[in-house]
Chains A and B, each alone.
Chain A
């Protein structure tokens, strides 16, 4: 891996692409803010999630389980299970970003889907760090501002069901799932997981059906041999 300085053209192009991703992704925060207060969380709890958890799918999962009447702890477990993919992103990025100490500790907070996507393909540490930080920080700032805006607006409008915001939660999950449904295996895993969840709804405490569906992922991992992609 070389570590030559970036030429200005490459630098500009990385920053432009990363800011574009940051703006597009940060704007989703409006949806999260609105859905979260509709699920019964306060504006402060909603903003704390975006600031301290800062990984969209996990945040939606926590508020989704609470909206369905589940125990908050079940929601936290579901959120953490979804957060495991950031660990794998970190494994791939660690040798490329090559940070240690407090820099690594700070960088970890903005280790998400988008910052990974905008850095994992770079050929030098400088380029990877630039893509990672520009994307991570711009998403972080905009995601938090948008969350506050969505939560305040959602809080102001009264009963969320009148506006169909309870239906927005399922749509948000589907939009997150959609890009992964391109392979037959993922489609089967999704269908089986949904079936397990619905079959267990009548018999176990709320929140547990989603955790039970994680067993489908375990089973599918054990049963399949080669790469799932």
Chain B
């Protein structure tokens, strides 16, 4: 099942890239399409964060992952590089689980 998803994602994402380089601009270059396309990454990433950090199965949960996210916020405010943010959050969650 994961391989099917990997294959579908690969084909879909490639065709989306190729479409942009191939389709005449007037087909997609409309204000509404552009606005929605700008909002989609914001909405999806925010939703992914929420689900990833604050849910477990079908219930909401606050645990070490929330602390990791808090540490990520602090590191982003301090303009830390991507890898520092990602592994800093992991380290914080790992440490709080040791306690």
Contacts and interface: CB of A to CB of B under 8 A. Distances in A.
Interface of A: 24, 27-28, 30-31, 35, 40-42, 45, 48-49, 52-55, 57-62, 64-69, 71-73, 75-76, 78-91, 93-95, 97, 99, 104-105, 107-109, 111, 161-178, 180-181, 186, 189-198, 201-203, 206, 209-210, 212-214, 216-218, 220-222, 224, 227-229
Contact of A201 (B25, B44, B55): B55
A52 B17 CA distance: 12
Contacts of A194: 46-47, 49-50
Contacts of A79: 9, 12-13
8 contacts: A31-B82, A58-B9, A66-B5, A71-B1, A164-B93, A167-B65, A180-B41, A214-B40
A218 B35 CA distance: 9
Given A108-B17, A193-B46, A206 B57 contact: yes
Contacts of B23: 87, 91
B69 A174 contact: yes
* Chain B interface, >50% SS class: helix
A148 B23 CA distance: 34
Classify the secondary structure of A's interface with B: helix
Given A53-B10, A213-B43, A213-B46, 16 more contacts: A28-B82, A49-B6, A61-B44, A68-B52, A76-B8, A76-B9, A80-B9, A89-B20, A162-B94, A170-B89, A171-B89, A193-B44, A197-B48, A210-B44, A212-B47, A220-B35
Given A164-B64, A171-B86, A218-B36, A209 B51 contact: yes
B18 interface: yes
A195 B50 CA distance: 8
B25 to A, nearest CB: 5
Contacts of B9: 49, 53, 58-59, 62, 75-76, 79-80, 83
Contacts of A221: 32, 35-36, 38-39
B18 A105 contact: yes
Contacts, number: 322
Interface centre among A71, A94, A220, A221 (most CB of B within 10 A): A221
Contact of A48 (B10, B65, B72): B10
A103 to B, nearest CB: 10
Given A28-B83, A31-B83, A167 B13 contact: no
B5 A72 contact: yes
A57 B41 CA distance: 9
B76 to A, nearest CB: 5
A180 B82 contact: no
Given A31-B82, A166-B65, A76 B5 contact: yes
The 9 closest A-B pairs by CB, nearest first: A90-B20, A167-B68, A164-B93, A213-B47, A171-B89, A72-B5, A221-B36, A167-B93, A164-B94
A108 B29 CA distance: 19
